[in-house]
A = this chain, B = another copy of it.
Amino acid sequence: MTLKRRKNRTPHPQCALSDCMSFIGGAWTPNIIWYLSSGPRRFSELRSDIPLVSAKVLTQRLRELEDRGILSRAVKDTSPPSVEYALTALGLEFMPVIQAISEVGQRLKARAAA
């Protein structure tokens, strides 16, 4: 979700929603945070956690979450190389949201099944 800035409009105080959404709005972002919440995880692990995501997009999301300070990237200089991603303190702040999304998602499924 990009929200091109509309011109000639002053920003609104109640944009905390959009602010937060700008973090978790990207495709697969919630899933990434979700799977990192139970501990650090490697690239390939995330790939199989979220089989539908392409390598490119996963990399994109990870980079951008790293830049935003949501997660940390640690390269272990072994052979074969391995990289561990982990939520930062800031990243953990998002857990209530992710949790809520997941729970509502579940309830929606249950409702649909009925």
Q: How large is the interface on A (under 10, 10 to 19, 20 to 34, 35 or more residues)?
A: 35 or more
| Interface membership of A50, Cβ < 8 A | yes
Flag if A9 contacts B101 (CB, 8 Å): no
Q: Does A60 contact B (CB under 8 A)?
A: no
Q: Given the complex, which residues of B lie within 8 Å of A52, measured CB to CB?
A: 3, 6, 9, 11-12
Number of this chain's copies in the complex: 2
A102 shortest CB reach to chain B, Å: 5
Kindly report which residue of chain B lies nearest to residue A94, judged by CB atoms.
B104
User: How many angstroms from the CA of A37 to the CA of B3 in the assembled complex?
Assistant: 23
Given contacts A17-B31, A50-B12, contact A101 B97 (CB under 8 A): yes
Within 8 A of B (CB), among A1-60: 1-3, 6, 9-12, 14-21, 23, 25-28, 30-31, 34, 50-52, 54
